[in-house]
Structure 1
C-alpha cells in the first residue's frame, strides 16, 4: 500500500485512501482501544474484521453492489478494498430531481432485498453508507453487520433506514415507500411479514 491519505477518522476505525497493486484502494483499519485489555482488544479487532470481510464477500456473491475486497489483514485489523469513485447518496439526494430520487430509492430497495435474501443484516443503513457511482448504488461500511434469519432483524434494519431518511431528507415518507415497494418485489415471500414488523416497531416507538 502506498500514497496513504486519511479520508475519515471514527471511533471504531479510520478510512485511508491508498493503492493496491496499482489500483486505487481504500483501507479500513480498526482502531485499538486503550481502555481495553490488550489481548481482549486484539481478539475483538480480529473477530470483527473477519466478520465484516466475510459479510462483504457473501453480499457480493449474492449480487449486492459492494466494493471488491483486495486484501484482509486480521492481525492489523485492516480490510483493503476497491475505491468506488462517486458521491454519497446523502450529499446528492435532495439536489436531484424527484424522478431520479425515485429510481435511486428503487435501487436501494432492491439492494436491501438482496442483502436480506442472503441473510445479511447491514446494521447501519443510512444514505451516508451508500455511494452512487456511474448511476449504480454501492453499499459500504458493514462494521455493524450480522447474519440473521429473524424477521425482526430485517424489520429493524429497514426501520433504521426509514429513520435515517426522516432525519436527513425531505419528503422522506414518499421515498421510503419506493424503497419498500422495490424491497418487497426482491425479497422472498416473507416481505409482508417484514413490513408488518416495521409497523410494529413504529407503534412501539409511538407509545413509549
Structure 2
C-alpha cells in the first residue's frame, strides 16, 4: 500500500514496515544519481537516529540499503487532524530538543508530526541537516508557524502554545523566536 509518492521518494507500507525509496532521476548521469540517492538516504537515516538519541520520538530504522530506508510503521494520526494547544506545546518541546541537538528538520509541518500511542513522533527527515545557527532554527520554526496559519483556525493560540513549550526547554528560544519575526517581515516585503 502506497502512502505517498513525491518528487524525491515513494513511501509505502509493506510487511508492517514503512519503505521509503528515493526515486532515480533520469536527467542525472546514472552513477551520479546513484551516489546522490545513496548519500541522501544515509544522511536521512543518520539524522533520524540522532534526533531519536536527542529525545525526539522518531520511527525506528530497521534497515538501510542504498536508496531505501526500512523503518517502523506508525499507525497514528497526522497532527494536522488533531492539533490543539496542549499538543502544540508538546511540539515546542520536541522542536527545542531537536534544535539543541543541532538538527534542523527542514519541513516542520503538522503533516510530518504523528500522534501514536499518546506520543508525538517526527517523521520525514529528507530535508533535514545539521546546523546550530539562529537563522536556520528560525526558518524551521517559521515553516511550522506558516503551516499553523494556513491550515488551522486557532493558529494564534497554537503559536503561543508552541512558544511556551519551546521556551520551557531551550535557553536560546527568545533569540530564535525574534528571528522568526524578522523572517516574517522579510517575506512580506519581498
After TM superposition, the score normalised by the length of structure 2 is 0.97
Structure 1: gaps (5+ residues): 94-100
2:33 matched residue in structure 1:
41
2:70 matched residue in structure 1:
80
1:117 matched residue in structure 2:
100
Backbone CA RMSD of aligned residues? 1.0
Whole-Å separation in 2 of the counterparts to 1:6 and 1:203: 39
Selected match of 1:30 from 22, 28, 34: 22
Selected match of 2:180 from 174, 198, 207: 198
Deviation of 1:61 after TM superposition, in Å, equals: 0.6
Whole-Å separation in 1 of the counterparts to 2:142 and 2:2: 31
Whole-Å separation in 2 of the counterparts to 1:202 and 1:110: 22
Deviation of 1:34 after TM superposition, in Å, equals: 1.1
Q: Indicate if the aligned counterparts of 2:104 and 2:137 stay in contact, CA closer than 8 A.
A: yes
Deviation of 1:207 after TM superposition, in Å, equals: 2.5
Deviation of 1:113 after TM superposition, in Å, equals: 0.5
Selected match of 1:71 from 40, 51, 63: 63
1:97 matched residue in structure 2:
none
Moved over 3 A (4+): none
Deviations 1:107-152 (A, max 9, x none): 1111101100110000000011111112211110000000001110
Whole-Å separation in 1 of the counterparts to 2:27 and 2:188: 37
Number of residues paired by the alignment?
190
* Deviates most, 136-145 or 34-43: 34-43
Whole-Å separation in 2 of the counterparts to 1:92 and 1:191: 25
2:14 matched residue in structure 1:
18
Deviation of 1:30 after TM superposition, in Å, equals: 0.5
From the CA coordinates, give the structure whose radius of gyration is larger. 1
Structure 2: gaps (5+ residues): none
After TM superposition, the score normalised by the length of structure 1 is 0.88
User: What SS is found at the alignment partner of 1:7?
Assistant: strand
Deviations 1:32-67 (A, max 9, x none): 011111111111101100100000000001110100
